[in-house]
């Protein structure tokens, strides 16, 4: 991979559509917040924490990801977490973000929904003012907890109206099919939320169909296992259902063993709408630009491919059509002016 390609990817205007705010908690901030909130961490040092980030699968990651959340207590903690991500986003020319947060991870520990969302929204507003980064916030339900808990979370969000733009579904996938959340998502659709869902990361292609048919998902998070079902691939291509693909995440969680085996290029070649995202960058060894660059290096993607992926990231977003067009024009201008 050339330094030039990194410079190109770094400056490329991009949207990030699959990013868990809790997954941006760097070990440094985990230690800082642990001290501030007088919480005991299971790690002796930063190196100790990083050494623990050697995952076998999704569940072994989720165990540490949820444990790390214990340091997030005050509104200020959620603000600092979100702000640190947005400062990085600004440096990488990420100009639109649609981040997830997992309210149940916090409300189940006795933290108020309002504490969590107010901290996050304040940081998003400040980043819009300061850096011009636009946003749509996505509230994600934990699929390994009862659907009654998801419904309760939906009720709590009512007070915040359309400041929550969309709802999603994440956490341990296998054994927790989308159908379990039919009622929750029907209610969410009735209340005007946009719909996304993780599906086909570790789970089978039928979970992707369930997310589309039962939940009404407009975008599939991950979705890489669709390739096992050619009819599903055709459907996703025909209906232009975007996939938010996370290359480094897939390697670190052993969805694929190496980046050169990653299906990103095959998904693009099959005519699917594909975007690149970082998922949980503090845990998976790279932020958004790293995902562009590492995928490009291993799969032979060109600048034209990367620009097309950046265009797709705005096209697949929940921005209105005028805003999408304006951002896509910026990508085209950037590629045309490229001097890197
Ligand atoms: N998959 C499912 N749940 C998650 C993930 C993921 O990649 N990251 C955070 N929660
Ligand atoms: Zn995810």
Give the model's pLDDT for residue 263: 98
Minimum-distance ligand 1 atom for the alpha carbon of 102: 10
Task: Sketch the domain layout of the chain as residue ranges.
Answer: 3-339
pLDDT digits (tens, 9 = 90+) for 64-112: 999 999 999 999 999 999 999 999 999 999 999 999 999 999 999 999 9
Report residue 3's pLDDT band, with 50, 70 and 90 as the boundaries: confident
pLDDT digits (tens, 9 = 90+) for 131-184: 999 999 999 999 999 999 999 999 999 999 999 999 999 999 999 999 999 999
List all residues whose CB is within 6 A of at least one atom of ligand 1.
20, 23, 58, 65, 170-171, 198, 201, 249, 279-280
Give the model's pLDDT for residue 1: 52
136 C-alpha to center of ligand 1: Å? Answer: 19
pLDDT digits (tens, 9 = 90+) for 9-46: 999 999 999 999 999 999 999 999 999 999 999 999 99
Give the model's pLDDT for residue 2: 67
273 C-alpha to center of ligand 1: Å? Answer: 21
Closest ligand relative to 284 C-alpha: 1
3-state secondary structure the chain: CCHHHHHHHHHCCEEECCEEHHHHCCHHHHHHHHHHCCCCCCCCCHHHHHHHCCCCCHHHHHHHHHHHHHHCCCHHHHHHHHHHHHHHHHHCCEEEECCEECHHHHHCCCCCHHHHHHHHHHHHHHHHHHHCCEECCEEEEECCCCHHHHHHHHHHHHHHHHHCCEEEEECCCCCCCHHHHHHHHHHHHHCCCEEEEEECCCCCHHHHHHHHHHHCCCEEEECHHHHHCHHHHHHHHHCCCCEEECHHHHHHCCCCCCHHHCCHHHHHHCCCCEEECCECHHHHCCCHHHHHHHHHHHHCCCHHHHHHHHHHHHHCCCCCHHHHHHHHHHHHHHHHCCCC
Residue nearest to atom 4 of ligand 1 (CA): 171
Give the model's pLDDT for residue 268: 98
**Is the domain covering 3-339 a CATH 3.20.20.140 domain?**
yes
249 C-alpha to center of ligand 1: Å? Answer: 9
Report residue 59's pLDDT band, with 50, 70 and 90 as the boundaries: very high
Residue nearest to atom 10 of ligand 1 (CA): 171
Residue nearest to atom 3 of ligand 1 (CA): 171
Give the model's pLDDT for residue 254: 98
Q: Is 325 a residue whose pLDDT tops 60? A: yes
> For the chain, what is the mean pLDDT?
97
The mean pLDDT value for 114-118 works out to: 98
87 C-alpha to center of ligand 2: Å? Answer: 21
Is 22 known to be catalytic? Answer: no
Whether the model clears a pTM of 0.75, i.e. scores above it, the answer is yes
Residue nearest to atom 5 of ligand 1 (CA): 171
Catalytic one of 16, 26, 201, 294 = 201
């Amino acid at each position: 991979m050339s330094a030039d390609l990194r410079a190109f990817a770094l400056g490329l205007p991009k949207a990030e559509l699959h990013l868990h705010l809790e997954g941006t908690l760097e070990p440094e901030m985990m230690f800082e917040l642990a001290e501030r909130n007088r919480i005991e961490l299971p790690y002796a040092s930063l190196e100790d924490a990083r050494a623990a980030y050697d995952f076998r699968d999704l569940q072994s990651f989720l165990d540490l990801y949820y444990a790390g959340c214990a340091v997030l207590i005050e509104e200020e903690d959620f603000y600092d977490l979100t702000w640190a991500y947005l400062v990085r986003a600004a440096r990488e020319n990420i100009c639109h973000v649609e981040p997830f947060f997992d309210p149940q991870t916090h409300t189940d520990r006795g933290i108020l929904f309002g504490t969590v969302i107010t901290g996050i929204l304040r940081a998003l507003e400040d980043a819009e003012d300061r850096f011009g980064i636009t946003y749509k916030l996505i509230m994600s339900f934990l699929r390994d907890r009862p659907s009654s808990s998801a419904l309760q979370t939906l009720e709590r969000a009512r007070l915040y109206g359309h400041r929550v733009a969309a709802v999603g579904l994440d956490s341990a996938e296998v054994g927790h099919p989308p159908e379990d959340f039919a009622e929750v998502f029907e209610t969410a659709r009735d209340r005007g939320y946009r719909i996304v869902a993780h599906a086909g990361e570790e789970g089978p292609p039928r979970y992707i169909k369930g997310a589309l048919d039962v939940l009404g998902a407009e975008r599939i998070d991950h979705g890489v296992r669709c390739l096992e079902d050619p009819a599903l691939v055709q459907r996703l291509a025909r209906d232009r259902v975007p996939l938010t693909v996370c290359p480094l995440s897939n390697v670190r969680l052993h969805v694929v063993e190496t980046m050169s085996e990653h299906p990103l290029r095959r998904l693009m070649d099959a005519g699917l709408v594909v975007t690149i995202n970082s998922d949980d960058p503090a845990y998976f060894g790279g932020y958004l630009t790293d995902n562009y660059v590492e995928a490009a290096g291993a799969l032979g993607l060109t600048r034209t491919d990367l620009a097309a992926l950046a265009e797709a990231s705005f096209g697949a977003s929940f921005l209105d059509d005028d805003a999408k067009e304006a951002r896509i024009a910026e990508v085209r201008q950037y590629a045309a002016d490229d001097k890197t």
